[in-house]
Structure 1
């Protein structure tokens, strides 16, 4: 009987060891059917597509900002910018915002309705009542020319 009791103890101990070793063994993956494999691949492709779309959406605002910045800079370089000029005749000093115009568009003094014939390289400004009649022009001496920011400040505060 002692042997029979030991056999049952041995068997019980072996069963415990078997149970432990079974729990430690990694479970083998079930083999997927072809339909399940296709479904899994489609899921992965959808996730990759969503990730790529999210990355593109993040990149679009950056591209848009760069394009807008480049266009604004190009416009600032290409198009003429207004200047603040101070001019004088017979002791009378005036300050006006002067815009040189574009090809086909005449230059403008923003606070005058007279026609302008500038000679900025000679620091001279001709203001004419009639652009066809040179006798209607008055000659003014340009004392000072200031840049775009000064012209903008004058337009805003006056």
Structure 2
């Protein structure tokens, strides 16, 4: 292979990889948007069909670290009332591993708690992209951190003490 052919092959490979990543970003975006919409629509089955069976949801409270079955149990009453939660993506960054079977992301969300940050990991399965891990956090402006810390200090102290005893 001569030098020009090699350069052209690398260029083609690079363009193909970029196109594949862009296509996969669209698919991942669709999954995440549909997941959030399923919660807004209180569609329990559609919501949990977007997660892996061993999926994890980390909520905004210190002890909210749910395996899928626990998260289903916690969430079911909200979905059954016809109103779960409503998260609308405002900004999202998506990244992939080299083999394009894992994706991770971060997103800024408009929610009933105002601005929140979501981040997570998706796995490509035989049934498409599924959310394996999701972390939700409330976005706190730096200038308000002291006030938030003051509000949560007592409860955090109790939790810290309990965890240190275990």
TM-score by length of 2: 0.32
TM-score after normalising by structure 1: 0.33
Q: Which has the higher contact order (CA 8 A, sep 6+)?
A: 2
Say which structure is richer in helix. 1
